[in-house]
Amino acid sequence: MKVHELSWSIKGTVIIDGIVLHAPHGKITGLLGPNGSGKTTLLRAVARLARADRGAVHLDGSDLARLRRRDLARRLAVVEQHAGTDLDVSVLDVVLLGRTPYRSALQSDSEQDRRLAFEALAQVNMAEFASRRWNTLSGGEKQRVHLARALTQRPALLVLDEPTNHLDIAHALSLLALVQRAGLTTFAALHDLNLAAMYCDHLVVLREGRVVAGGAPHDVLTPELLMDVFDVRADVGRHPETGRPLLTFHPPGVVVPS
Protein backbone atom coordinates (compact mmCIF):
# COMPACT_ATOMS: atom_id res chain seq x y z
CA MET A 1 0.00 0.00 0.00
CA LYS A 2 1.34 3.42 -0.92
CA VAL A 3 0.15 6.81 0.25
CA HIS A 4 1.02 9.79 -1.97
CA GLU A 5 0.84 13.34 -0.64
CA LEU A 6 -2.37 12.78 1.31
CA SER A 7 -3.83 15.83 3.06
CA TRP A 8 -7.02 16.53 4.97
CA SER A 9 -8.20 19.74 6.56
CA ILE A 10 -11.30 20.95 8.30
CA LYS A 11 -12.56 24.55 8.36
CA GLY A 12 -9.21 25.77 7.08
CA THR A 13 -7.16 23.85 9.66
CA VAL A 14 -4.76 21.35 8.13
CA ILE A 15 -4.86 18.12 10.16
CA ILE A 16 -2.68 15.88 8.01
CA ASP A 17 -0.34 17.41 5.51
CA GLY A 18 1.28 15.80 2.47
CA ILE A 19 1.57 12.32 3.96
CA VAL A 20 3.88 10.03 2.00
CA LEU A 21 4.44 6.47 3.17
CA HIS A 22 4.37 2.86 2.14
CA ALA A 23 3.13 -0.19 4.01
CA PRO A 24 4.98 -3.31 2.83
CA HIS A 25 2.87 -6.10 1.35
CA GLY A 26 1.81 -8.78 3.84
CA LYS A 27 3.48 -7.02 6.77
CA ILE A 28 2.33 -4.98 9.75
CA THR A 29 3.03 -1.26 9.52
CA GLY A 30 2.59 0.56 12.81
CA LEU A 31 1.44 4.17 12.86
CA LEU A 32 2.81 5.97 15.92
CA GLY A 33 2.47 9.48 17.22
CA PRO A 34 1.30 11.42 20.27
CA ASN A 35 -2.38 12.13 20.94
CA GLY A 36 -3.78 14.46 18.34
CA SER A 37 -0.94 13.94 15.84
CA GLY A 38 -3.39 12.84 13.14
CA LYS A 39 -3.27 9.02 13.25
CA THR A 40 -7.04 8.49 13.20
CA THR A 41 -7.47 11.16 10.53
CA LEU A 42 -4.84 9.50 8.34
CA LEU A 43 -6.36 6.03 8.75
CA ARG A 44 -9.84 7.41 7.96
CA ALA A 45 -8.53 9.16 4.85
CA VAL A 46 -6.77 5.96 3.72
CA ALA A 47 -9.95 3.95 4.24
CA ARG A 48 -12.11 6.61 2.52
CA LEU A 49 -14.13 7.21 5.68
CA ALA A 50 -13.00 10.81 5.22
CA ARG A 51 -12.47 12.40 1.85
CA ALA A 52 -8.91 13.65 1.41
CA ASP A 53 -8.39 17.18 0.04
CA ARG A 54 -5.65 15.87 -2.17
CA GLY A 55 -3.35 12.90 -2.60
CA ALA A 56 -3.95 9.25 -3.35
CA VAL A 57 -3.74 5.77 -1.88
CA HIS A 58 -2.65 2.86 -4.05
CA LEU A 59 -3.14 -0.77 -3.20
CA ASP A 60 -1.56 -3.39 -5.45
CA GLY A 61 -1.32 -0.74 -8.14
CA SER A 62 -4.95 0.45 -8.06
CA ASP A 63 -6.10 3.85 -6.84
CA LEU A 64 -8.52 3.26 -3.96
CA ALA A 65 -10.44 6.47 -4.76
CA ARG A 66 -11.50 4.98 -8.09
CA LEU A 67 -13.06 1.83 -6.64
CA ARG A 68 -16.78 1.49 -6.16
CA ARG A 69 -17.78 1.21 -2.47
CA ARG A 70 -18.49 -2.48 -2.80
CA ASP A 71 -15.15 -3.21 -4.45
CA LEU A 72 -13.41 -1.10 -1.84
CA ALA A 73 -15.07 -3.18 0.89
CA ARG A 74 -13.71 -6.34 -0.70
CA ARG A 75 -10.20 -4.93 -0.70
CA LEU A 76 -10.05 -3.03 2.57
CA ALA A 77 -11.42 -3.67 6.07
CA VAL A 78 -11.31 -1.17 8.92
CA VAL A 79 -11.60 -1.47 12.67
CA GLU A 80 -12.21 1.99 14.04
CA GLN A 81 -11.05 3.35 17.37
CA HIS A 82 -14.52 4.02 18.72
CA ALA A 83 -16.42 1.26 17.03
CA GLY A 84 -19.93 2.19 18.09
CA THR A 85 -22.70 -0.15 17.07
CA ASP A 86 -25.67 0.03 19.39
CA LEU A 87 -27.82 -2.33 17.38
CA ASP A 88 -29.71 -5.08 19.11
CA VAL A 89 -28.12 -7.84 17.05
CA SER A 90 -26.12 -10.96 17.84
CA VAL A 91 -22.34 -11.17 17.78
CA LEU A 92 -22.60 -13.52 14.80
CA ASP A 93 -24.67 -10.92 12.91
CA VAL A 94 -21.93 -8.34 13.45
CA VAL A 95 -19.28 -10.71 12.10
CA LEU A 96 -21.51 -11.60 9.13
CA LEU A 97 -21.51 -7.90 8.16
CA GLY A 98 -18.03 -8.71 6.85
CA ARG A 99 -19.64 -10.81 4.10
CA THR A 100 -21.98 -8.02 2.88
CA PRO A 101 -19.66 -6.90 0.05
CA TYR A 102 -19.77 -10.43 -1.38
CA ARG A 103 -23.51 -10.83 -1.81
CA SER A 104 -26.39 -8.94 -3.39
CA ALA A 105 -28.89 -7.02 -1.28
CA LEU A 106 -31.51 -9.76 -1.60
CA GLN A 107 -29.27 -12.68 -0.76
CA SER A 108 -29.16 -13.99 2.80
CA ASP A 109 -26.09 -15.52 4.48
CA SER A 110 -24.83 -18.67 2.85
CA GLU A 111 -23.39 -21.69 4.66
CA GLN A 112 -19.98 -20.48 3.50
CA ASP A 113 -20.57 -17.00 5.01
CA ARG A 114 -21.52 -18.56 8.34
CA ARG A 115 -18.54 -20.90 8.25
CA LEU A 116 -16.14 -17.98 7.64
CA ALA A 117 -17.80 -15.98 10.42
CA PHE A 118 -17.48 -18.84 12.92
CA GLU A 119 -13.87 -19.41 11.89
CA ALA A 120 -13.03 -15.76 12.48
CA LEU A 121 -14.79 -15.77 15.87
CA ALA A 122 -12.76 -18.81 16.87
CA GLN A 123 -9.55 -17.04 15.78
CA VAL A 124 -10.25 -14.17 18.20
CA ASN A 125 -11.32 -16.62 20.94
CA MET A 126 -14.92 -15.42 20.83
CA ALA A 127 -16.59 -18.55 19.41
CA GLU A 128 -18.73 -19.13 22.50
CA PHE A 129 -20.12 -15.58 22.18
CA ALA A 130 -21.69 -16.13 18.74
CA SER A 131 -25.30 -15.90 19.93
CA ARG A 132 -24.74 -13.24 22.59
CA ARG A 133 -26.35 -9.82 22.10
CA TRP A 134 -23.74 -7.43 20.73
CA ASN A 135 -24.60 -4.63 23.17
CA THR A 136 -23.89 -6.86 26.20
CA LEU A 137 -20.19 -7.24 25.33
CA SER A 138 -17.33 -5.45 27.09
CA GLY A 139 -15.17 -3.00 25.16
CA GLY A 140 -12.41 -5.57 24.72
CA GLU A 141 -14.83 -8.26 23.54
CA LYS A 142 -16.32 -5.82 21.01
CA GLN A 143 -12.83 -5.02 19.77
CA ARG A 144 -12.10 -8.72 19.16
CA VAL A 145 -15.44 -9.22 17.40
CA HIS A 146 -14.72 -6.22 15.17
CA LEU A 147 -11.43 -7.80 14.19
CA ALA A 148 -13.29 -11.04 13.40
CA ARG A 149 -15.69 -9.04 11.22
CA ALA A 150 -12.77 -7.41 9.43
CA LEU A 151 -11.04 -10.78 8.83
CA THR A 152 -14.30 -12.23 7.50
CA GLN A 153 -14.20 -9.51 4.88
CA ARG A 154 -11.10 -11.23 3.44
CA PRO A 155 -9.45 -7.88 2.68
CA ALA A 156 -6.10 -7.24 1.01
CA LEU A 157 -5.54 -4.31 3.39
CA LEU A 158 -6.45 -4.27 7.06
CA VAL A 159 -6.68 -0.83 8.71
CA LEU A 160 -6.76 -0.86 12.52
CA ASP A 161 -7.10 2.15 14.80
CA GLU A 162 -5.66 1.29 18.22
CA PRO A 163 -6.89 -2.30 18.03
CA THR A 164 -5.60 -3.16 21.51
CA ASN A 165 -6.68 -0.09 23.50
CA HIS A 166 -9.42 -1.95 25.42
CA LEU A 167 -7.52 -5.22 25.77
CA ASP A 168 -5.63 -6.66 28.70
CA ILE A 169 -2.03 -7.60 27.98
CA ALA A 170 -2.71 -11.27 27.17
CA HIS A 171 -5.48 -10.37 24.73
CA ALA A 172 -3.40 -7.56 23.24
CA LEU A 173 -0.51 -9.94 22.57
CA SER A 174 -2.73 -12.65 21.14
CA LEU A 175 -4.63 -10.18 18.93
CA LEU A 176 -1.43 -8.82 17.41
CA ALA A 177 -0.04 -12.34 17.00
CA LEU A 178 -3.25 -13.25 15.17
CA VAL A 179 -2.95 -10.22 12.90
CA GLN A 180 0.65 -11.25 12.21
CA ARG A 181 -0.39 -14.83 11.36
CA ALA A 182 -3.14 -13.54 9.06
CA GLY A 183 -0.33 -12.24 6.83
CA LEU A 184 -2.39 -9.32 5.46
CA THR A 185 -0.97 -5.94 4.61
CA THR A 186 -1.88 -4.16 7.84
CA PHE A 187 -1.75 -0.50 8.74
CA ALA A 188 -2.37 -0.03 12.45
CA ALA A 189 -2.24 2.92 14.81
CA LEU A 190 -0.74 1.69 18.07
CA HIS A 191 -0.17 3.47 21.35
CA ASP A 192 1.97 0.93 23.13
CA LEU A 193 5.42 1.42 21.68
CA ASN A 194 6.71 -1.90 23.02
CA LEU A 195 3.86 -3.77 21.35
CA ALA A 196 4.59 -1.86 18.15
CA ALA A 197 8.28 -2.78 18.43
CA MET A 198 7.38 -6.43 18.93
CA TYR A 199 4.83 -6.91 16.14
CA CYS A 200 5.44 -4.30 13.47
CA ASP A 201 7.79 -4.84 10.56
CA HIS A 202 7.71 -1.19 9.60
CA LEU A 203 6.90 1.97 11.55
CA VAL A 204 5.71 5.42 10.54
CA VAL A 205 5.76 8.25 13.07
CA LEU A 206 3.49 11.29 12.89
CA ARG A 207 3.85 14.60 14.62
CA GLU A 208 1.38 17.43 14.08
CA GLY A 209 0.02 15.83 10.95
CA ARG A 210 3.32 15.16 9.23
CA VAL A 211 5.50 12.07 8.87
CA VAL A 212 8.68 12.60 10.86
CA ALA A 213 10.20 9.11 10.69
CA GLY A 214 9.72 5.80 8.95
CA GLY A 215 11.56 2.50 8.81
CA ALA A 216 12.34 -0.67 10.73
CA PRO A 217 11.56 -0.58 14.48
CA HIS A 218 15.22 -0.56 15.54
CA ASP A 219 15.95 2.36 13.23
CA VAL A 220 12.93 4.41 14.26
CA LEU A 221 12.68 3.79 18.01
CA THR A 222 15.72 5.69 19.23
CA PRO A 223 16.01 7.62 22.51
CA GLU A 224 16.36 10.82 20.44
CA LEU A 225 13.12 10.24 18.54
CA LEU A 226 11.25 9.28 21.70
CA MET A 227 12.38 12.48 23.37
CA ASP A 228 11.78 14.60 20.32
CA VAL A 229 8.32 13.30 19.35
CA PHE A 230 6.86 11.86 22.55
CA ASP A 231 8.72 14.02 25.06
CA VAL A 232 9.80 11.03 27.15
CA ARG A 233 13.18 9.84 28.28
CA ALA A 234 13.65 6.23 27.31
CA ASP A 235 16.36 3.62 27.07
CA VAL A 236 16.23 1.29 24.13
CA GLY A 237 17.41 -2.24 24.85
CA ARG A 238 16.90 -5.55 23.14
CA HIS A 239 14.12 -8.00 23.89
CA PRO A 240 15.83 -11.15 25.19
CA GLU A 241 13.61 -13.50 23.16
CA THR A 242 12.61 -11.63 20.02
CA GLY A 243 15.65 -9.38 19.59
CA ARG A 244 13.24 -6.50 18.95
CA PRO A 245 13.74 -3.09 20.59
CA LEU A 246 12.61 -3.00 24.20
CA LEU A 247 11.87 0.43 25.65
CA THR A 248 12.22 1.43 29.27
CA PHE A 249 10.72 4.79 30.16
CA HIS A 250 11.95 7.12 32.85
CA PRO A 251 9.54 9.00 35.08
CA PRO A 252 9.50 12.70 34.24
CA GLY A 253 11.34 14.98 36.58
CA VAL A 254 13.73 12.30 37.85
CA VAL A 255 17.32 13.20 37.16
CA VAL A 256 19.47 10.26 36.15
CA PRO A 257 23.00 10.53 37.56
CA SER A 258 25.50 10.45 34.72
Q: In the complex, which residues of this chain contact ligand ADP (CB under 6 A)? A: 10, 15, 33, 35-41
21: β partners: 3
Q: Which region, judged by CB under 5 A, interacts with Mg ion, from 15-23, 31-39, 70-78, 197-205?
A: 31-39
CB of 7 to ligand ADP, least distance (A): 13
Q: Which region, judged by CB under 5 A, interacts with Mg ion, from 18-26, 39-47, 146-154, 210-218?
A: 39-47
CB of 163 to Mg ion, least distance (A): 12
Q: Which of Mg ion, ligand ADP, none binds 153 (CB below 5-8 Å, type-dependent)?
A: none
CB of 35 to ligand ADP, least distance (A): 5
Question: Closer to ligand ADP at the Cβ: 8 or 134?
Answer: 8
Per CB under 5 A, does 40 bind Mg ion?
Answer: yes
Q: Residues of 70-83 as b/e, b for ≥16 C-beta within 10 angstroms?
A: eebbbbbbbbbbeb
**Residue 27 DSSP symbol:** S
Question: Closer to ligand ADP at the Cβ: 33 or 55?
Answer: 33
Q: Which of Mg ion, ligand ADP, none binds 15 (CB below 5-8 Å, type-dependent)?
A: ligand ADP
HEC sequence for 194-208: HHHHHHCCEEEEEEC
Per CB under 5 A, does 37 bind Mg ion?
Answer: no
Give dist(CA 182, CA 28) in Å, integer.
Answer: 10
**Residue 252 DSSP symbol:** T
Give dist(CA 28, CA 200) in Å, integer.
Answer: 5
CB of 255 to Mg ion, least distance (A): 33
Task: Pinpoint the alpha helices (H) of the chain.
Answer: 39-46, 69-75, 91-96, 111-123, 139-152, 169-182, 193-199, 217-220, 223-230
